[in-house]
């Protein structure tokens, strides 16, 4: 059993803290947000993450999980201090290290004796060295702090299961003993452990996210070509994915990637590369395609409606992906702004994200369910592929609408069936409705 402090109890830190506590460790989450800490102490989670509430409640009851705003209290007797604070994009795309620097300083001021500082947040290459220097310069003589990079690979919506069943644990440190101590923490997860230096570990994280974003922009480019040549991008992706070297994952064409990671991490990597004199054309193209795909969606609606001014558009889904309330860089927010910019009226529904989204989409009406959303709409835009949208009574939806235009932003509906129901179906790279496909779709 170890005593662990986790600095920053947001999407990554709170999952990390609760999961390590569930493994039997004594964990204290530290955050500067007093309201967040106060609510966590009475088991109110600041984020919607399947399975997390139960983990928090169970481990608070077992007195393994604590929360505080006080670094000294949180670091008391801790052998490990995980830094899990945000690294948002700065104006030029660079990762803002303000919170990380403050966390390192807080550790240096409050920690005593030996401690291993574990960089869990996604940090620019070289950050481990930077934070090590801050701690060394600010810490007392009695502090023996060693730094290990341990980037997170948690997906929102599946973060708890991703923690307990990781594909790999990446550890970066020149101090083998410190790296092995962090490896030991992760031993119960039975995952492959890659031990390397800090800069390489930091780059594994950026390169992994940038590659996944590249897959998404690649299939979105293929989707736009499919549209013009009459091919169906979903079946193209099926065919590609049967090649073990390619893999089917992250080949879902649609409205592109959002969230707090891919957009930020691709921008940060492009920035780091550019300031080092590289010319990251591919990363720039990935970002450009991702931006353009949202504009293409708006263009489809504009063309089929003969203009957007005064048209009522129903938006199904606001979160950047299903099973989360996170709307950071969500396609829906950008698309709503683009539609409103041309005079469209917006009504929106999302199972959990409406409260978070409201401040960012003023003058949007909210419906309480998809059927209420559809009433009188000139078009419906499926933006986030929540499961509850997949088996809607589409005939009822069609009846409620003023004009039966359906933009399927995540290709979750069958074009032929939608056409049969009388919709003008707009997919993302779907072949125009034609004869039934020759071969049934691949078994799920
Ligand atoms: C991502 C990485 O997957 C995770 O490993 C990393 O730790 C954090 O960033 P996350 O951003 O939570 O996780 O969500 P993810 O499931 O990766 O989806 C990211 C975005 O890509 C979402 O907006 C999603 O809608 C979009 N996406 C995903 C696609 O457009 N097509 C796909 O095929 C897959």
Q: Sorting pLDDT into bands at 50, 70 and 90, what band is 142?
A: confident
Q: What angle do CA 50, 24, 170 make, to 5 degrees?
A: 70
Task: Please tell me the residue having the least CA distance from ligand 1 atom 26.
Answer: 257
pLDDT computed for residue 432 by the predictor: 56
Q: Give the integer Cα–Cα distance in Å for 360 and 419.
A: 34
Q: Sorting pLDDT into bands at 50, 70 and 90, what band is 403?
A: very high
- For 359, counting Cβ atoms within 10 Å of its Cβ (0-12 exposed, 13-18 middle, 19+ buried), the class is exposed
Phi, psi (deg, nearest 5) at residue 286? -60, -45
Residue indicated by tokens 């779709």:
441
Asked if pLDDT for residue 101 goes beyond 60, the answer is: yes
DSSP state of 90: -
pLDDT in tens, 339-393: 999 999 999 999 999 999 999 998 999 999 999 999 999 999 999 999 999 999 9
Phi, psi (deg, nearest 5) at residue 379? -160, 155
- Compute the distance from residue 154 Cα to the ligand 1 centre, in Å: 10
Full set of structural domains in the chain with CATH: 3-196 (3.40.50.720), 209-426 (3.40.50.720)
Task: Please tell me the residue having the least CA distance from ligand 1 atom 24.
Answer: 257
Q: Percent of the chain scored above 90 by pLDDT?
A: 95
Task: Please tell me the residue having the least CA distance from ligand 1 atom 9.
Answer: 261
pLDDT in tens, 290-347: 999 999 999 999 999 999 999 999 999 999 999 999 999 999 999 999 999 999 999 9
- Compute the distance from residue 248 Cα to the ligand 1 centre, in Å: 14
Q: Percent of the chain scored above 70 by pLDDT?
A: 97
Helix (H) or strand (E) holding 273: helix 262-275
Asked if pLDDT for residue 2 goes beyond 50, the answer is: yes
What mean pLDDT is predicted for residues 165-174? 96
Asked if pLDDT for residue 439 goes beyond 90, the answer is: no
Nearest alpha carbon to residue 175 among 204, 195, 155: 195
Q: Which residues line ligand 1 (CB under 6 A)?
A: 152-156, 209, 212, 216, 250-252, 254, 256-259, 261-262, 320-321
pLDDT in tens, 190-205: 999 999 999 999 999 9
pLDDT in tens, 211-263: 999 999 999 999 999 999 999 999 999 999 999 999 999 999 999 999 999 99
Nearest alpha carbon to residue 402 among 426, 380, 425, 427: 380
Q: Which of 241, 261, 296, 332 to mutate to test the pocket of ligand 1 (most atoms within 8 A of CB)?
A: 261
Q: Give the integer Cα–Cα distance in Å for 100 and 131.
A: 8
Phi, psi (deg, nearest 5) at residue 192? -60, 135
Would the pTM of this model clear 0.75, i.e. be above it?
yes
What mean pLDDT is predicted for residues 182-196? 97
Task: Please tell me the residue having the least CA distance from ligand 1 atom 1.
Answer: 155
Q: Give the integer Cα–Cα distance in Å for 22 and 125.
A: 31
- Compute the distance from residue 41 Cα to the ligand 1 centre, in Å: 30
- How many CA atoms, within 13 angstroms, populate the side-chain half-sphere of residue 125? 17
Annotation says 261 is catalytic:
yes
Q: Assign 255 to helix, strand or coil.
A: coil
Q: Output the 3-class SS for 170-209.
A: EEECCCHHHHHHHHHHHHHHCCEEEEECHHHHHHHHHHHH
pLDDT computed for residue 435 by the predictor: 45
Cβ(123)–Cβ(204) below 8 Å: no
């Amino acid at each position: 059993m170890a005593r662990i402090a986790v600095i920053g109890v947001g999407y990554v830190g709170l999952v990390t803290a609760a999961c390590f506590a569930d493994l039997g460790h004594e964990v204290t989450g530290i955050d500067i947000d007093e309201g967040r800490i106060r609510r966590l102490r009475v088991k109110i989670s600041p984020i919607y993450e399947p399975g997390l509430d139960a983990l928090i409640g169970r481990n608070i009851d077992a007195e393994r999980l604590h929360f505080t705003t006080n670094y000294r209290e949180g670091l008391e007797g801790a052998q490990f201090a995980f830094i899990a604070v945000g690294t948002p994009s700065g104006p030029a795309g660079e990762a803002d290290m303000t919170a990380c620097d403050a966390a390192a300083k807080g550790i240096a001021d409050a920690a005593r004796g030996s401690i291993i500082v574990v960089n869990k947040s996604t940090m620019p290459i070289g950050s481990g060295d930077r934070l090590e220097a801050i701690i060394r310069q600010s810490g007392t003589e009695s502090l023996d702090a060693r730094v290990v990079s341990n980037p997170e690979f948690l997906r929102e919506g599946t973060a708890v299961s991703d923690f307990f069943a990781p594909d790999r644990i990446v550890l970066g440190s020149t101090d083998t003993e410190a790296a092995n101590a962090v490896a030991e923490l992760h031993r119960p997860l039975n995952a492959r452990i890659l031990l390397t230096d800090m800069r390489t570990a930091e780059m594994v994280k950026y390169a992994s996210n940038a590659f996944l974003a590249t897959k998404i922009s690649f299939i979105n480019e293929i989707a736009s070509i499919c549209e013009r040549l009459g091919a169906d991008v979903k079946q193209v992706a099926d065919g590609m994915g049967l090649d073990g070297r390619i893999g089917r994952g992250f080949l879902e064409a649609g409205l592109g990637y959002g969230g707090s990671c891919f957009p930020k991490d691709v921008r940060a990597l492009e920035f780091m590369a550019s300031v080092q004199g590289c010319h990251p054309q591919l990363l720039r193209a990935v970002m450009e395609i991702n931006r353009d795909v949202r504009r293409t969606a708006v263009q489809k609606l504009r063309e089929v409606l003969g203009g957007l001014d005064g048209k009522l558009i129903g938006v199904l889904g606001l979160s950047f992906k299903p099973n989360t309330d996170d709307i950071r860089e969500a396609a829906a927010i950008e698309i709503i702004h683009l539609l409103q910019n041309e005079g469209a009226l917006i009504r929106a529904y999302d199972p959990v994200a409406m409260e978070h989204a409201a401040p960012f989409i003023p003058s949007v009406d909210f419906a309480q369910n998809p059927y209420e959303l559809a009433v009188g709409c000139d078009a419906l835009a499926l933006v986030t592929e929540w499961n509850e949208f997949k088996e809607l009574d589409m005939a009822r939806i069609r009846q409620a609408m003023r004009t039966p235009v359906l933009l399927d932003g995540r290709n979750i509906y069958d074009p032929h069936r939608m056409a049969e129901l009388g919709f003008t179906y707009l997919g993302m790279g779907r072949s125009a409705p034609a004869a039934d496909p020759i071969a049934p779709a691949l078994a799920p």
